Amino acid sequence: QKEVEQDPGPLSVPEGAIVSLNCTYSNSAFQYFMWYRQYSRKGPELLMYTYSSGNKEDGRFTAQVDKSSKYISLFIRDSQPSDSATYLCAMDSSYKLIFGSGTRLLVRP
Amino acid sequence: EPEVTQTPSHQVTQMGQEVILRCVPISNHLYFYWYRQILGQKVEFLVSFYNNEISEKSEIFDDQFSVERPDGSNFTLKIRSTKLEDSAMYFCASSSPRGSNQPQHFGDGTRLSIL
């Protein structure tokens, strides 16, 4: 079983839609969870950083962590064409990040 | 907003040659990292570095690889004798001095092409 699993997509939605991106993980030792956005030929850009189970909101973005199910989600409200990118989940394993494979999102105008 | 900068953006090197990738982490950060991303694959951890020594390294980070903080601002990754399979994007990251469990901030990477 892979440590972190993420559907690669692509996920195509119309502008204004609510987007749901998800990752599952197998290692219960993970305590910190991140979502990064990566545009083509750019580095990962930190979007959300969470520690405990529950929700964290920042503008149009909400990160959700369910440690009991080993499942994390990122919701994007009122999606915009500029949100088109690859979204990477990452888990902190003491001095290193373990990444999912990334979900490619396309928001159609 | 402070950012991690990497140079060069693209490096083309003959197989067997040495290459040095350079990074300037965010100025008050004390933890430094290198990751790589082979085209179409996930971002993979290579090495973490703190207090002038390696904290952790992956299986990928073999004897051909080394890291150094030659001065107060730069952090480098050296590949001694490059192989074709070293072709990838290499990302540098840094995190704040409060501990390793702080979010890591990434540069835009160096695309390494081995011919």
Summarize pLDDT for B77-103 with one digit per residue, the tens.
999 999 999 999 999 999 987 655 689
Is B35's Cβ below 8 Å from some Cβ in A? Answer: yes
Summarize pLDDT for B15-74 with one digit per residue, the tens.
999 999 999 999 989 899 999 999 989 999 999 999 899 999 999 999 999 999 988 889
Alpha-carbon gap, residue A17 to A107, rounded angstroms: 8
Strand order in the sheet with B65-68: B5-7, B19-24, B75-79, B65-68
Is B67's Cβ below 8 Å from some Cβ in A? Answer: no
Chain A residues inside the 8 Å CB shell of B48: 95-96
What does the block give as tokens for A88?
A: 């990477």
Alpha-carbon gap, residue A64 to A48, rounded angstroms: 10
What does the block give as tokens for A15?
A: 């502008």
Average pLDDT over residues A99-108: 96
pLDDT score of B98 = 65
Residues 80-99, chain A, touching B (beta carbon < 8 A): 88, 90, 92, 94-99
Cα–Cα nearest to B78, from B69, B93, B92, B68: B68
Helix (H) / strand (E) element for A27: namely none
pLDDT score of B100 = 56
Least CB–CB distance from A43: residue in B50, B100, B108:
B108
* Count of CB pairs separated by less than 8 Å, A with B: 60
Across the interface, whether the CB atoms of A44 and B33 are under 8 A apart is answered no
pLDDT score of B92 = 98
**Does residue A83 sit in helix, strand or coil?**
helix
Across the interface, whether the CB atoms of A101 and B111 are under 8 A apart is answered no
Identify how many contiguous H helices and E strands chain A contains and give both numbers.
Answer: 0, 11
Give residue B16's region: left, alpha or beta (phi > 0; psi -120 to 50): left
